[in-house]
Structure 1
Amino acid sequence: MPSGKTHDRVTVWLTPWVGLGAMLVTERWLYTSLVVMGFVFAGFMFGPDLDIHSVQTKRWGRMGWLWWPYRRRVRHRSWLSHGFLAGSIGRCLYLLVAILLLILFGLQITNTAGHTTVTWNDLGRMTGQILVDYWRLWVAIAIGIELGAMSHYTADEWVSSWKRARRSAVPKKRRSRKRRRR
């Protein structure tokens, strides 16, 4: 398996190509920049290795505790973490639920203190409206995130295959057997 530094290099090397591809497909700077930002975010902070204590987890800093339940529940390199689409969708849903819980907690505190009167329905309506009104932007970000995850698990697969091939190509040394005398 590649190290975190290798994954970082892959992200850096592929970023211009992702940007070029996004520009050729979308022909818009806004969508291109969102795809690239999603790719870089996934490559450095939001990739499949959040299911273990990794460089990506450490980059969350003080918010790293947020990924502790995820690490406890999701097995490393399972389809839930390294699966095509499923891994990215799972991480996005996990993060969305965590953010919503933090927002609800904050709203409950401010509502109790009498500073605001935002209800859960208001929050749901606002969130839904943002998702509907800006769906193209969200799709561009999601594509970037999935491309970042794909670069990660493709690098994992290539390095693992290369190591397996190297191991099978090198003949194993035979140990000399010394006979015991009785």
Structure 2
Amino acid sequence: MWGSDFIDLLPGFARRFQDELSDVRVFRRQSDGLAENVLIYVAGQARDGFPALWLGWDPAVLGQPTTEFFDCFPAAVQTFLREVHPGFTAQDWESYGIKRPDAWESLEGYDWFPSESFDEIESQPSQMMWFTKDSGQLYYCVNSRLPGKVTLAYEGNFDPPGEFGAELDELLMRRWDEQ
């Protein structure tokens, strides 16, 4: 189901997820007359003793992602979002994975990043979008100027861009340690 190129992009997470995976359930959600299926993956326990869960959205309901930031992701992630799960997150729908494309929006209008912060990374808010976060306020952003890279944002500051796979793999591994 998950392509080898996606698994290769996230080697630490893929290995531990496969080792810890104990159950997968289908959850049917209805909202505003729309019914959608979500796979709930149970993969070990988080630090708090509760199950570590991930939600995988059904591509049949969301259709093909066509948002402006789609090309910012590596090809393996684009394929995963198109064919496997157009959204794969913890149960809050936004952390430890990749938010659903229909929830993507640029950082334009977010007041928690002063304009000087964008000057330092030579980007505009409209060029950036956060696609996931940790359990706190560390946001993982893609930048239309830097496809395949991730910029970490925290309290109005940006870290230098890093490699997408390495950054996401590290975040997903932390899911077991942070809750």
Report the TM-score when normalising by structure 1. 0.24
More helix by share: 1
Report the TM-score when normalising by structure 2. 0.25
More strand by share: 2
